[in-house]
Amino acid sequence: MRKLSAALGLVAVLALTACGGGSPSGGETEPAAGGSPGLTPVNVGVIPIVDVAPIYLGVKEGIFEAEGLDVELTQAQGGAAIVPAITNGQMDFGFSNVTSLIIARSKGLPLKMMASGSSSTGDQDADFAAVMVKPDSGIKEIKDLVGKKIAVNTLNNISDSTISAAVEEAGGDPKQIDFVEMPFPDMRAALEQDNVDAIAAVEPFVTMAKGDGAVPVFSNYAHPVDDLTVAVYFTSEQFAQQNPEVTEAFVTAMKKSQAFAEENPDKVRAILPEYTQLDPSVIKDLTLPKFAQEVNADSIETIADISLKNGLIEEKPDMQALLPE
């Protein structure tokens, strides 16, 4: 199997949910020359975040090799760089949050979800995403976010749309929320300096913010959508149609890797230093996502409805074509 580079700094973690901008990280991954004999080479676009630990484990444990695949993991700073790499054939598969793929499909890009990536734990008090505030902010519950300034890593995407849906469900007017786009690493300082009232953080920044004294209001991944599939692995319709055996092998290996990660959280934490530079104390304390084997189609349909209601898309795309078969 190809050699995976671990040389990536914490700054590259800024696209933690695969919904931010960015371009491929040139020179970050150094595949070995040639491929392993008898194996089909596959290039997968990933982001150096906790969510993709299963695929790194799958490569390390020989799960992909057992399915006949020689996997090269190419790191990018965000899903915005991975999508065009998939559509132009530079990559075979990629990782992205579901809202970004719904938006891309609604714009006519022939993308298809293939396998589950990260999912919410479903526990508002113990999830890998949380809306965080200072303890003296006066913000105690979801409805209190009305009229406040909230930092999100990307506007018009999964964070602000799920927060808006939760606020509306709580009886508040989400149009009165002032969402501010900001990279994840900058959010803690902005909250500390009172430049924002709340931050929509994800791990490892949830744990880091707690270390600063910040407290969670709720998890916008655990609520208002039940059992939310947050991110998935995807490809182009053309690649899937032209390479059915490779696609099937990738999906099979990915499901096995997800199951392995879910059953071995200690190995998930142990592999994180191999492709990130997270502090060991943060790795020890952070909340891991749920690594489900199957995509929850109902949750993605709900996200599409929320995206339509909030104006992220003009009409729902062909969800049957987008979702895994």
pLDDT in tens, 96-114: 999 999 999 999 999 999 9
**Residue 69 dihedral angles phi and psi, to the nearest 5°:** -115, 140
Please check whether residue 138 lies inside any domain of the structure.
yes
Does residue 162 surpass a pLDDT of 80?
A: yes
Distance CA 222, CA 185 (A): 22
Q: Which tokens in the block code for residue 111?
A: 């993308």
List the domain range (segments joined by +) for residue 152.
129-218
Whole-model pTM: value is: 0.86
Chosen domain end from 158, 191, 218: 218
Q: What is the pLDDT of residue 48?
A: 87
Please check whether residue 291 lies inside any domain of the structure.
yes
Buried b (16+ CB within 10 A) or exposed e, 91-109: bbbbbbbbbbbbbbbbeeb
Please check whether residue 78 lies inside any domain of the structure.
yes
User: Do 46 and 76 sit in the same domain of this protein?
Assistant: yes
Number of domains in the chain: 2
pLDDT-derived band at 124 (thresholds 50, 70, 90) equals confident
Please check whether residue 305 lies inside any domain of the structure.
yes
Query: How many beta carbons lie within 10 A of that of residue 159, not counting itself?
Result: 27
User: Do 212 and 313 sit in the same domain of this protein?
Assistant: no
Contact 307, 103 (CB under 8 A): yes
Please check whether residue 5 lies inside any domain of the structure.
no
Q: What is the pLDDT of residue 7?
A: 32
User: Do 145 and 100 sit in the same domain of this protein?
Assistant: no
Contact 6, 271 (CB under 8 A): no
User: In Å, what is the CA distance from 309 to each residue of 17, 77, 100?
Assistant: 22, 29, 15
pLDDT > 90: what percent of the chain? 82
Residue with tokens 């008090």: 125
Distance CA 26, CA 110 (A): 26
Distance CA 41, CA 192 (A): 47
User: Do 232 and 116 sit in the same domain of this protein?
Assistant: yes
Residue with tokens 């933690």: 16
Please check whether residue 3 lies inside any domain of the structure.
no
Q: What is the pLDDT of residue 241?
A: 96
User: Do 17 and 113 sit in the same domain of this protein?
Assistant: yes
**What CATH number corresponds to the domain at position 176?**
3.40.190.10
Lowest mean pLDDT among 24-33, 165-174, 291-300: 24-33
pLDDT digits (tens, 9 = 90+) for 196-247: 999 999 999 999 999 999 999 999 999 999 999 999 999 999 999 999 999 9
Chosen domain end from 155, 188, 218: 218
User: Do 112 and 153 sit in the same domain of this protein?
Assistant: no
User: Do 209 and 245 sit in the same domain of this protein?
Assistant: no
